[in-house]
Amino acid sequence: MVTTWPSWGRRSKVYARAWGEVGWLAAVIGVILASTSSDGTPNTGVIDPAPASARFVAEPSMHLGWIGAAVGGHINITYHPPIPTSPPATILISSINVHRPVEQVGTDRSGAMSVPKNLWNAGWYEYGPVPGAPGDAVIDGHAGYPDAPLLFGRLDQLRKGDQIVVVLADGSRRLFLVQSLAIWPARAYPTGLFGTGGPPRLTLITCTGPFDAQYKTYADRLVVEATYAGQS
């Protein structure tokens, strides 16, 4: 279907309404700026019109994450990208050849974070932040046995600065950069793990350390922490 411009009569009404809205907004801003002096005390004299530097044209995009702030008589427009809510679907770590789906996991009967049902998939803690949202998004994965590594069997080969990309279900890609690797006892964990506030970050967890062949378990956990680097 071909989209056409409205007739001139319709356009003139649209333009008039748009300019009327802009003029009203500029007038309100002029009142706010002129009614307060530079030292923050109210003015008692005649209210002057808003200075030219304070005038701006309102755009539809301002309603989609744009925030305007008056600073020194100027209007600064800052864009705040929407916080992602779509769950992760895929994790990509090119340096260790990881490219697998991500399952949503909760907790087991003991209250510990569950592991993915598919041994080759990663598991995202579904009660925590989405990767790229404020807080600590946590993803775990099986290390496998010493002679049969699985998805995160080579996680210890990551180095600071390595890239981790998490693809969300909506198709957006969130980039993280490895900052540190640390080994923790199985029943201990770093401060801030699963946190829901602060800058966006990502934590990867897998098994490591001495292997108990009888019980098929590891004594420790490898924790990889990464910082958010934006959409990729």
Instruction: Please report, rounded to a whole number, the percentage of residues in the chain having pLDDT higher than 70.
Output: 66
Confidence of residue 232 (pLDDT cuts 50, 70, 90): confident
Distances (CA, A) of 221 to 152, 212, 229: 12, 14, 25
Confidence of residue 82 (pLDDT cuts 50, 70, 90): confident
Query: Which residues are within 8 A (CB) of 193 and not within 5 positions of it... i.e. 6 or more apart?
Result: 136, 138, 203, 223
Task: Note the CATH number of domain 88-231.
Answer: 2.40.260.10
Residues found in the chain: 232
Rounded Cα gap, residues 134 and 150, in angstroms: 30
Rounded Cα gap, residues 76 and 36, in angstroms: 18
Domain ranges of the chain: 8-79, 88-231
DSSP-assigned states of every residue in 56-74: ----GGGGTTEEEEEETTE
Task: Convert the pLDDT of each residue in 178-230 to its tens digit.
Answer: 999 999 999 898 999 999 999 999 999 999 999 999 998 999 999 999 999 99
Find out whether 128 and 196 touch, Cβ atoms under 8 Å: yes
- For the four alpha carbons of 168, 171, 176 and 181, in that order, the dihedral sign comes to positive
| pTM over cut 0.95 | no
Distances (CA, A) of 181 to 25, 171, 198, 225, 229: 52, 28, 20, 6, 18
CA dihedral 217, 218, 220, 221 (to 10 degrees): -80
Mean pLDDT of all residues in 120-133? 97
- Of 74 and 101, which is predicted with more confidence? 101
Query: Which residues are within 8 A (CB) of 19 and not within 5 positions of it... i.e. 6 or more apart?
Result: none
- In the predicted model, is pLDDT for residue 88 greater than 70? yes
